[in-house]
Amino acid sequence: MAVFMQSLISGILIGGVYALIGIGLTLIFGVMRVINFAHGDILMVGMYLTYIIFTMLGIDPFVSVLITFPLMFLFGGFLQKVFINRVLNALAQNQILLTIGLGLIMSNTVMLIFTSDYKILTTTYSSSTIQVGGGVSVSTPLLISFLITSAITAALYWFLLKTDTGQAIRATAQDRDAAQLMGINVKRMSIIAFGLGSALAGTAGALISPTYYIFPQVGGVFTLKAFVITVLGGMGSVVGATLGGILIGITESLGAVYISSGWKDVIVFVLFLLVLLFKPSGLMGKSRT
């Protein structure tokens, strides 16, 4: 039972970070109907940014989120304005290829600068744990990152539900043309949405950097995970992505313990295919398109 609780809790904690990644992807998809295949690579850029800030300025990765978030927001806005904006009305495969191309450019540029060596960001608390009782312990960096994730997610919900800009973003996601007719600057909303999506991915990168290897190709895994999460939750649904992220975190964690760590990703993909087959609209989604 202790083992079960242990893996369940760490699954939920890591799931929080996954939720952040998924929300970013789903926000971009919702507003622009573009599937961002560079999502994991944006996360990777966030990881390296955190690494640079940590090694050069000595700022703690969790504190540096305050720098990473706005920087990644600008980066995402730039990507949207210069590249993605030009293919908004293009064929789906062209949009996908463009983002794949951007992802390749990011990961390989980082590889040219930092080589493909694995980097490790060691903080004083990287391997420390907190006893919760009942033989269950929680990794400190995971717990902190979960708390930060929850705060960011709550702030994001507030932003989307209560502010004018947030409502404009949701309106654009619901119906781009109608939103434009209502006087919403959809181009600006797209830039904000892509910026936010990138900022969330970059922040997720920053949050996992104390516990994860940092290398240029790390993005691929997360891109795929982000898809699984968003499809599971329903493409375009922020609540769905939150739930999906936590669900995937738990599945992975339990799968690693009860089946094997080598097969845990296979389980996630099989789950993904099953969702695509039997409930393609996802947990929270409404329609297939």
Partner 1 sequence: MNKTLLKSLLALIGLAFLLVIPRFVDSPYALHMMILLFLSVMMGQSWNILGGYAGQHSVGHAAYFGVGAYTTMMLMHTKQIAPWIGVWAGMALVIVVALAIGSICFRLRGPYFVLASIAVAEILRLSAINLTTLTNGAEGILATELPAFKIGGTVVTDFLTKVPFYYIGLFLVLLTIVVTYLVQHSKLGYFFQAIREDQDAAHSLGISISLYKNIALVISAVLTSLAGSFYGIYVGFVDPPTVLGLDVSVQIMLICIIGGMGTIWGPVLGSLILVPLSEALRSNMITEALVKVGLVSADSRVGLFLKENLSHAHVLLYGILVVLVILFMPDGLMGFVNKLMRRKREAV
Which chain residues interact with partner 1 by CB under 8 A?
35, 83, 86-87, 90-94, 96-98, 100-105, 107-109, 111-112, 116, 220, 224, 227-228, 231, 260, 262-263, 265-266, 269-270, 272-273, 276-277, 280, 288
Check: CB of residue 34 under 8 Å from CB of residue 28.
Answer: yes
- Of the two residues 69 and 272, which places its CB atom closer to partner 1 in the complex? 272
- Of the two residues 53 and 98, which places its CB atom closer to partner 1 in the complex? 98
In the chain, which ranges are E strands? 129-133, 136-139
Residue 244's H or E segment, with its range, is helix 238-258
Separation of alpha carbons 258 and 3, rounded Å = 10
Partners of 129 in the β-ladder: 139
> Can you count the helices (H) and strands (E) in the chain?
11, 2
Residue 149's H or E segment, with its range, is helix 140-162
Check: CB of residue 11 under 8 Å from CB of residue 254.
Answer: yes
- Of the two residues 166 and 285, which places its CB atom closer to partner 1 in the complex? 285
Separation of alpha carbons 238 and 261, rounded Å = 29
- Of the two residues 32 and 148, which places its CB atom closer to partner 1 in the complex? 32
User: DSSP labels for 55-68?
Assistant: III---TTTTHHHH
Separation of alpha carbons 244 and 201, rounded Å = 16
* Distance in Å, CB of 276 to partner 1, minimum: 5
- Of the two residues 31 and 121, which places its CB atom closer to partner 1 in the complex? 31
- Of the two residues 45 and 98, which places its CB atom closer to partner 1 in the complex? 98
* Distance in Å, CB of 134 to partner 1, minimum: 33
Contacts of 38 (CB under 8 A, 6+ apart): 79, 99, 100, 102, 103, 106, 219, 223
* Distance in Å, CB of 182 to partner 1, minimum: 27
Separation of alpha carbons 240 and 231, rounded Å = 9
Look at residues 176, 191, 174 and name the one whose alpha carbon lies nearest to residue 84. 191
